[in-house]
Chain A
Amino acid sequence: GAVVSQHPSWVICKSGTSVKIECRSLDFQATTMFWYRQFPKQSLMLMATSNEGSKATYEQGVEKDKFLINHASLTLSTLTVTSAHPEDSSFYICSAGTGGVSSYNEQFFGPGTRLTVL
């Protein structure tokens, strides 16, 4: 099956610093990648949708200047949390689809990145 990796798996940073999380599709080309956030004992909430070579589409309430998304290639998307604060501490999960936003193929999920901001 399709494999999606994330790096790092966990990160601790000081308040005010920026953190970059990578999401890679290892054995397929992902025209669309999705970034989710999950707070403790909560479900996954979609943050943004990114398509290779174009700007990401952010969900309502998600600050695009704070959560920078770059989908530079068909196998890599990055999420940068800028000027992180303790309230940004969360579990960030990416997923990748093979068919673009108008396809209804299965999404494949990464293992997640645990971000703790001190």
Chain B
Amino acid sequence: KQEVTQIPAALSVPEGENLVLNCSFTDSAIYNLQWFRQDPGKGLTSLLLIQSSQREQTSGRLNASLDKSSGRSTLYIAASQPGDSATYLCAAPNSGGSNYKLTFGKGTLLTVNP
């Protein structure tokens, strides 16, 4: 059974700082890994999806990396802004092969202070 862990649980940084959020998963036989953003009381916004054949994906100030062998992914946010404040979730497909159920980490609550 896939288990996903995110560290840290919460992070508070001043505006402009670069930061890294960590995600680890127990079953490395994944086909992809997704990073999401969730604002309070809202649904999920997909940020980046990394296919298993890829090592990283970039979108604007966001860069996500994937190391399947070590069961780790990181989300790098450059030049953080107060608008980046949200909970960031990573999710990996469950082990078991033929299905596509996602297991979510508990998230990292990011606060960027102006």
Contacts and interface: CB of A to CB of B under 8 A. Distances in A.
Q: How large is the interface on B (under 10, 10 to 19, 20 to 34, 35 or more residues)?
A: 20 to 34
Contacts of B103: 46
A106 B49 contact: yes
A62 interface: no
Interface in B40-70: 41-46, 49, 51
Contact of B46 (A44, A99, A103, A106): A106
Nearest to B31: A104
Instruction: Give the size range of A's interface with the partner.
Output: 20 to 34
Given A32-B100, A43-B89, A101-B99, A108 B41 contact: no
Given A32-B100, A102-B100, A42 B106 contact: yes
B43 A44 contact: no
A109 B100 CA distance: 14
Interface in B76-105: 89, 91, 93, 98-105
Contact of A114 (B41, B44, B45, B46): B41
A57 to B, nearest CB: 9
B31 to A, nearest CB: 4
Given A44-B89, A93-B43, A111-B42, A101 B104 contact: no
Contacts of A111: 42-43
Interface of A: 1, 6, 32, 34, 42-46, 49, 91, 93, 95, 97, 99, 101-104, 106-112, 114
Interface of B: 31-32, 34, 36, 41-46, 49, 51, 89, 91, 93, 98-107
22 contacts: A6-B43, A34-B101, A43-B89, A43-B105, A43-B107, A44-B102, A93-B44, A95-B102, A101-B98, A101-B100, A102-B99, A104-B93, A106-B32, A106-B46, A106-B49, A107-B46, A108-B46, A109-B43, A109-B45, A110-B43, A111-B42, A112-B43
